[in-house]
Amino acid sequence: MSLKKFKPTTPGQRHKIISDYSEVTAAKPEKSLVVGKSKSGGRNHDGKMTMRYIGGGHKQKYRIIDFKRSKHGVPATVKTIEYDPNRTARIALLYYADGEKAYIIAPEGLKVGDTVVAGKDAAPNVGNALFLSDIPLGTVIHNIELKPGKGGAIARGAGTYAQLNARDGRYAIIKLPSGETRMILTTCLATIGAVSNSEHNLAISGKAGRKRWLGRRPRVRGVVMNPVDHPMGGGEGRNAGGHPRSRKGIPAKGYKTRASKKYSDKFIIERRKK
């Protein structure tokens, strides 16, 4: 993947830097793996707005992604690499040897025509899914399960990856994308490689309209609101009111919101870097 910079022929093009989508090989998704997707506009079942700054946007379809990789021992061929509007990473369409089709998150380096397989006897190659007990130490992995059989939950965003550092009895010690080092059961599955579209964080939309196409409305800062609307609202002129906090009054900038006696504390070896 590479980025494309535009000549400043219009104000919207001046700062625009987006993906060139050179790795994407199909324009339309596989029909059998697509379901309809409705939009809430940030409103709950009563019609009350509960999430601000959501609404509009292009109509999207949801692609059903196989996070579980439960077809063990059955090889699959990569048919296409596709764009997915629901996530930052690219997705890969697999054709299994038994005729089944599935989408997976495409790792960096996976190409059309490659063969991937999941299970105990799989080789530690890019795109293959193995148990943490069978992956060589030091390997870069993504789409990691937290509970056996539940499906990958960790390192699924564009360019993210974790690293398998060690094994200690029933647990594997993994360094997560956040910098946290954590123990996960060795019976959990993970996929080899880093997630595709690693330059996603360098893209610049260039204009407000591109954000609107994604369904994101203009975000208003708390300090410019009135006191009735936000804890940081009010003040004369440009004098801000209050300390940095959310509209519900929860302080930002270093205030710890994690439960003091959370069940997973015993699995965390080293907390993420501040």
Looking at the predicted structure, is the pLDDT value of residue 1 above 70? no
69, 104 in Cβ contact below 8 A? Answer: yes
The tokens describing 55, both together, are 């609404």
Q: Which domain holds residue 250?
A: 224-268
Which of residues 78 and 2 earns the better pLDDT score? Answer: 78
pLDDT at 241: 73
The β-bridge partners of 152 are 145
> Mean pLDDT over residues 130-142, rounded?
97
| DSSP reduced 3-state for 210 | helix
Mean pLDDT of 85-108: 97
Other CB atoms within a 10 A radius of the CB of residue 73 amount to: 11
Cα–Cα distance, 104 to 224 (Å, whole number): 43
Residue 211 in any domain: the answer is no
Domains of the chain: total: 2
In this predicted model, what pLDDT tens digit does every residue of 198-245 receive, in sequence order?
999 999 999 999 999 999 999 999 999 999 999 999 988 888 778 899
Q: Which residues are CB-neighbours of 159 under 8 A, at least 6 positions away? A: 108, 194, 195, 196, 197, 198, 199, 200, 201
Residue 238 sits in the same domain as residue 145: no
Residue 193 shares a structural domain with residue 249:
no
How far apart (Å, rounded) are the C-alpha atoms in residues 274 and 271?
9
Q: Are residues 192 and 137 in the same domain?
A: yes
31: in domain: yes
- Give the CA distances from residue 81 to residues 22, 187, 200, 224, 253, in Å, rounded to whole numbers and listed in that order: 10, 29, 16, 44, 39
CATH number at residue 232: 4.10.950.10
In this structure, what CATH number is given to the domain that contains residue 190? Answer: 2.40.50.140
pLDDT score at 8: 96
Helix (H, G, I), strand (E, B), or coil: what is residue 251?
strand
Give me the mean pLDDT over the 54-69 stretch. 97
User: Which pair of structure tokens corresponds to residue 105?
Assistant: 């998150």
Boundary of a domain, candidates 152, 167, 201: 201
**Which of residues 153, 186, 201 is at a domain's end?**
201
Asked, for residue 208, whether it belongs to a domain, the answer is no
